[in-house]
Structure 1
């Protein structure tokens, strides 16, 4: 599915960094500020950044699909995912800066209220925007499953991971491991959706 070493590594590194963020978060009873808050959010930032090459690699694999509609769907999934990644990166950066500037949790809450008081910030960065990340991933994963380039269970595993994060952020380590199960093997796949589609389609169900 991906060709460059960075892309292959990202399929594993992204979910692993998400798992690390969840584990570090569990050690932070106050949820900031402090070392655990900063370290956890650095893992979070690294995790989301790794999904940029993942999204682009999945888009390339889906491009040789079923005509213009398939290409349009692949582009929609990629753009949606990248917009979501942008929102989550913005959230992680804000959280890091607020944690650095604050002496205690109460001060952090005051900063967050100030940030969210600006028009459009809360939906763009904290509610609607981050959801686009998961929507884009699921669109691409579902398309690849429909094209029989990945096994049908992989999108279901991603859905399970997303649901767990929605239930409780304390379940982030488990969600990260589910994403690892869904994505890591794809990074070992050789081939490129633009240049060698036959290589990709010759091994359905992986």
Structure 2
């Protein structure tokens, strides 16, 4: 079996992860969605599912980029995968904390109190909020660069550029999450065979 070929799960993840991310970003723009209630819970649940779908995306990037690399290149690829998965785990942890707070808080003031209480615990803020999630984007960008260079590339130069642009937009203002999601979808689409002159494998 050619592991560089996209699978049904890869195609689902490539489309599903950005779409769920965009839905979260859209819900986040609605009134009342940033305080305890249905908007907070639904939005964060969608984001949790979207992040989870990035796991098969990362695995597919590793499979697609690895076979034609030297031993040193494969070691670098494994390092990028480890960084990306560590960051993804931290991001999932962050959303899990946010969901918990949104589920148990009785109002906005209680929400702030719970966040302050949780984030003041040793390691929580850097691991799940300030440093840990950043590793996901660093690792993902490295994987996209690896998949867009060399003779065996499966992506084009604009994939890491789009991913970086989307990430910068969300760092500047979370209101740009839906726009960033479109950037991510376009960046990852060739990984699933869309727009790359081939159809995704369905087996």
- With the length of structure 1 as denominator, give the TM-score of the two structures: 0.88
1:4 CA drift (Å): 3.1
Per the alignment, residue 172 of structure 1 pairs with 177
Q: Trace 1:1-206 onto structure 2 (pairs within 5 A).
A: 1-29=4-32, 31-147=34-150, 148-188=153-193, 190=200
Q: CA RMSD in A?
A: 1.4
1:144 CA drift (Å): 1.1
Q: Is the 8 A contact 2:7 2:192 kept in 1?
A: no
How many residues align structurally? Answer: 191
> How many angstroms apart in 1 are the aligned matches of 2:172 and 2:160?
18
In terms of fraction of residues, the more helix-rich structure is: 1
| Residue segments in structure 1 that go unaligned for 5+ positions in a row | 192-206
SS at 1:80 equivalent: helix
| Residue segments in structure 2 that go unaligned for 5+ positions in a row | 194-198
> Aligned in 2, Cα 1:2/1:32: closer, same or farther, shift over 3 Å?
farther
1:150 CA drift (Å): 1.2
* 1:94-125 deviation line (CA, Å, top 9, x unaligned): 11110010111110111011111111110000
1:31 CA drift (Å): 0.7
Q: Is the 8 A contact 1:28 1:37 kept in 2?
A: no
> How many angstroms apart in 2 are the aligned matches of 1:2 and 1:127?
35
Q: Is the 8 A contact 1:62 1:70 kept in 2?
A: no
Q: Is the 8 A contact 2:154 2:190 kept in 1?
A: no
* 1:51-99 deviation line (CA, Å, top 9, x unaligned): 0000011001111133111101111111111101100101111111100
> How many angstroms apart in 2 are the aligned matches of 1:73 and 1:104?
47
Please list every run of at least 4 consecutive aligned residues from structure 1 whose deviation after the TM superposition is greater than 4 angstroms: none
- With the length of structure 2 as denominator, give the TM-score of the two structures: 0.90
